[in-house]
Structure 1
Amino acid sequence: MPSCATIISTPKQTVHIVGQPAGSTYYANDKKLKSKPLNNGTAGAVSVRLPRKKKSELLIKHAGYKDYSETLYPTKRNAVAYLNWIPIVGALGQLAVGVSNGDDTNFLGTGLLLGVGGVLIDNSTGASKRLNKEEIRPNMLALPTALAGGQTIQCGLMNVRIKGGDKMGNLIIENDPEEILYFGKSLDIDAEHLKANINSTLKELGYNVPGTEGQSVFSTGSSSRYTLQGEMRDVKYDIYASSKYEALARFETRCNVEITWKLLNQNRQTVLEQKTAGTSVKFVKGGNAAFEDAFENSLYAFLNNPAVAPALAKPATATAALESKPALISIHRNKQPTSATDNGITLAARSVVIMETANGHGSGCIISPDGYIVTNAHVVGDEQQIQVHLSDGLKAQGKVVRVNPEMDLALVKIEVDGLTAFQLPVASLADIGADVFAIGTPADKELGQTVTKGIISGRRKIEGHSFLQTDVSINGGNSGGALVNRSGQLLGIVNAKLIGRGIEGIGFAIPAEQVTDALQLKFTE
């Protein structure tokens, strides 16, 4: 029985694939495979033939599903190959009892030739090997279905709540843990990189993602109607090696992540929140591939939530679009206070506060005595809580209650009463060439309520929005502060300036009379 494994088992091994969608396409080492349906009662189950001699990188594709890949190795021995040893053992047995005549010599030679020849042939064809798996159960994730012409969506924030040095997992060699793996050393991920990957993935899936984040000198907020946020607190990351000798080892890197996703509308209201897990196995030694695949799988799991599609669907009619506007926020309006000793600028300065965030600081304008404050959307960014420093030194925790990114405006509420507040005008009070004063916190928090003087240089219509142009001195930290006249009346909310060689004294403010409608406010006396 020469070359028993080659004859009986053949150089290829049958591998069953169970659990994938029916009609999938199969590849091994980039070559398309023929598949044969299995009559085991499982829809889509097939068998494929893979070479025994070398590793096979199996790839499964199906329209509407994420590709699945797995590597199979020829690590086991094919039992049929041991049949080659029968003539060898017989010949050696004959040799042990002694060779008495020519016939016995012929038997000995023939036995050794057949046996050794069979071993050599089986080894050369690979028939003596057996792949490490005879069945594969791929977990193929369905790709989210994007809505044609749906609402705009964009990732605005990705928080990684894992510190450098936190334990993630182990390097496991021959089933024994050998080394602890730490975040930042074995796996290095950047929140901004993840944010960019999310937006790229959304685009690839067909979601309506703006080409930019709407950032310009006039508006640094997102122009998307919906914002996606993610928070990752846990990563499990293990590397498995089959041998302590790297040149001989086969590696598997397994990763599991858990992420809490939030879908927010333009008013910072949470439309949908869900915690999803993503897992992945990559047949490589470490690296970011397994993590990025697991991260993407977690995102897919969230986007496959049946509540996502209705949220991103555009209103069917113009009436529905109007009804989608946020509810009005009622705010108390008091008359602008007067004093025999204080002039208007001094009173106005009391109504300007410092807005401290994780990334720095800006300014804000109190518009009601019970603690509502207007600032820029780019000042609050993606934060929900803001530290507010009042002019008298008091600090209060502010909650972001509404944001209009297109207008670069945000509304913050602090639980403090009896404040000196601006009165938002219902019509423009700004005259071209009139003296104006900017009040804010330029450069450093120690410079709170700084007052600078200039004039109204003009009115501008830019990118569909109206702005007041001024030559008043504006610096980083003035954003969200007040532009007032000599009487202390609020004219605008400072939001930008032009910077560059040869450019001086070109700043912009959002007209104060636009704030009420932009933030959907309703004033009560």
Structure 2
Amino acid sequence: MTPPKTPRRLATARLGCLLVAGLLLAGCNTTKPMEMPRPTHTGVSAAAANPMGGLEKMALTRVVADIPRGTVIAHLPSSGIDDLEGHLCNYRLSGNGTLMEWAAGPSSSFGDWDRDFARIFRDVMSQAGYEVAGDPRDLFGRDEELAGTRYQVGARLLEIKGNVCQAHDWVYAFPMDSFSAEFYVKVEWNLYDTLSKETIKRLTTEGYAKRTRSQEQGLMLTLGDAFAVATEILAADKEFHAFLSGENDSPALAAGRAGTSPYDSPITIAEVPDSARPMKETMDRTLDSVVLVRVGGGHGSGLIIDPRGYILTNAHVVGEADTVMVRLNSGIEVQTQVLRRHKGRDVALLKAPLGGLVPMPLRTRPAERLETVYAIGAPFDESLSATITQGTVSALRTDDKSGWGWIQSDVSITGGNSGGPLVDGNGNALGIVTQGIPTHLTHLAADLNFMVPIGEALDALNIRPAQPGS
């Protein structure tokens, strides 16, 4: 007869079974810890070290992962990791124990990681003395606040490495939803200036973090800690701080504030005397000075400023293209070179390989409030080229940050008008159509639109009308 098992015997037998099972299963997990950098950061942010105030508000627009699909980002080593807590760790795994190939996407293991990173960025930067717009926890007002910021920051995850230990029940040896971990991240930061419309700073930082105690959210917490360290290093960068303090403006914006152009050599165009005749009497000539600009799958408008083929339009119309198609009012189409562009002032200079074109008179004398004006272009569709709409000069504005001027008008413009001329009653160009604020956003009876004064457009591209007698 077998003697009854005492509680002590039961515990001893159970422990023996666990040890045997552990030895058998542990031998199946051959995973080694993932090798990774372990950078340290002990500095303070430039903003905190120099709390002078006056920093521009910034916003984190997006965090994206630029990691090849299928990349293994973490190991679950059989032997565990130094200092990481986890009873039995990952002994149940067989073969190579890896955590998440990036092809499956991060959401299954890290939840809403991009929103969490946005919150971490805001918290770290705010503690470092920066002003950050757009609380990611705000359900309604975040987009409106982001739209009012000058500087936008985009984060690109270039690399993630980690080692993870999953805790197991110490009696029954089943895996629990509790993890200790170490993670390394490499982040590329892009600082974008909405005034100059250019990326003015790129900086790569690294972060490393370890959580030695097992926690239910141990994976995301540790990865978030590593991202926070990378953010702290960004906050400590002196050049990053200099941009936000206005000490290190972009070349294009600095040139605009100084009233100069980033282009050293001037381009001289023929002087065209202002027209004194009503546009009704010179309609054909005026329309012959307006062109359609086609690039990619979209189009805009432009105005001829010199008989040799020089044409003004918007920088956002041509984008990054070196050549675009231009269609004259006569129907002739020609491939045209983009010579110059100023993204901040949103103007560009084209050169068509044609001569004998009809230039539009350029009125550098300022527009007057309540003056009747007309926008000419191709709204919506190319078939609607040479459309003329009438409005009034509502106001003359100056941007406080850039010092650039704007002509405000209620003249109706839509997509396709961009780059076309705003003319006075005699067909003289006052400005270049640039942007509009839709009625549903402004709650106004008519659209609120802004145009670049023609004189500032010429200055931004270093274009000089020939002097009389030259």
Give the shorter-chain TM-score range: 0.5 to 0.7
Instruction: Output the CA distance in 2 between the equivalents of 1:367 and 1:234.
Output: 50
Indicate the SS of the match to 1:234.
strand
- Tell me which residue corresponds to 2:85: none
Aligned pairs (5 A) from 1:177-326:
177-178=97-98, 180-182=100-102, 183-186=105-108, 187=110, 198=121, 201-207=124-130, 224=150, 228-236=153-161, 239-243=164-168, 245-247=174-176, 250-252=179-181, 254-262=183-191, 266-267=195-196, 272-282=201-211, 283-284=214-215, 285=217, 288-312=220-244, 325=258
The whole-number CA distance in structure 2 between the counterparts of 1:323 and 1:486 is 30
2:436 aligned counterpart, secondary structure: strand
Partner of 1:428: 366
Amino acid across the alignment from 1:142: G
Listed as ranges, the matches of 1:53-64 within 5 Å are none
Aligned-residue offset at 1:395: 6.8
Q: What is the aligned partner in structure 1 of residue 430 from structure 2? A: 491
Aligned partners of 2:163 and 2:183 also within 8 Å: yes
TM-score by structure 1 length? 0.52
Structure 2, unaligned runs of 5 or more: 1-37, 77-89, 136-140, 249-253, 276-280
> Following the alignment from structure 2 to structure 1, what is the Cα–Cα distance between the partners of residues 294 and 238?
42
Q: Percent identity?
A: 15
Q: Is 1:144–1:205's contact at 8 Å kept on the other side of the alignment? A: yes
Alignment-derived partner of residue 375 in structure 2: 437
Distance 1:342 1:143 in 2: 65
Q: Quick one: distance in 2 between partners of 1:196 and 1:366?
A: 49
SS of match in other structure, 1:207: coil
Q: Which has the higher contact order (CA 8 A, sep 6+)?
A: 2
How many residue pairs match? The answer is: 365
Is residue 523 from structure 1 mapped to residue 461 from structure 2 by the alignment? no
Q: Which amino acid aligns with 1:235?
A: I
Asked if the contact 1:344–1:487 (Cα under 8 Å) also holds between the matched residues in 2, the reply is no
Residue aligning to 1:10: none
C-alpha distance 516-163 of structure 1, shift in aligned 2 (>3 A)? same
Question: What is the identity, as a one-letter code, of the residue corresponding to 2:258?
Answer: K
Q: Which has the larger radius of gyration?
A: 1
> Structure 1 pair 149/393, CA: closer, same or farther in 2 (3 Å)?
farther
Note if contact 1:353-1:388 (Cα within 8 Å) is conserved in structure 2.
yes
Instruction: Select which of 58, 61, 69 maps to 1:154.
Output: 58
Residue 25 of structure 1 corresponds to which residue in structure 2?
A: none
| CA distance in 1: counterparts of 2:360 and 2:147, whole angstroms | 25
Q: Which amino acid aligns with 1:254?
A: F
Cα distance in 2, alignment partners of residues 298 and 155 from structure 1: 17
- Summarize the Cα distance change of 1:209–1:250 in structure 2 as closer, same or farther, 3 Å threshold: closer
- Paired residue secondary structure (2:226): helix
Matched, 1:390 2:326: yes
* In structure 2, C-alpha distance between the alignment counterparts of 1:190 and 1:387, rounded to whole Å: 41
How far apart are the structure 2 equivalents of 1:413 and 1:239? 56
Match in the other structure for 2:43: 142
> TM-score, normalized by length of structure 2?
0.57
Three-state SS of the structure 2 residue aligned to 1:343 is: helix
State the secondary structure of the residue aligned to 2:225. Answer: helix
CA distance in 2 between counterparts of 1:277 and 1:138 reads 7
CA distance in 2, matches of 1:503, 1:478: 21
Structure-1 residue corresponding to 2:86 = none
Tell me if structure 2 keeps the 8 A contact 1:466–1:510.
yes
Q: Distance in 1 between matches of 2:376 and 2:229?
A: 49
Shift of 1:177: 1.2
For 1:447 and 1:188, the matched residues in 2 are separated by 49
Return closer, same or farther for 1:505/1:262 CA change in 2, 3 Å cut-off. closer
Q: Mean alpha-carbon deviation: is it higher for 432-441 or for 295-304?
A: 432-441
The amino acid that maps onto 1:427 is R
Contact persistence 2:379–2:413 (CA under 8 A): no
Q: Which runs of 5+ in 1 are unaligned?
A: 1-136
Deviation at 1:144, TM superposition (A): 0.8
Deviation of the 1:336 alpha carbon: 5.5
Cα distance in 1 for residues equivalent to 2:176 and 2:234: 40
Tell me the amino acid that sits aligned with residue 484 of structure 1. V
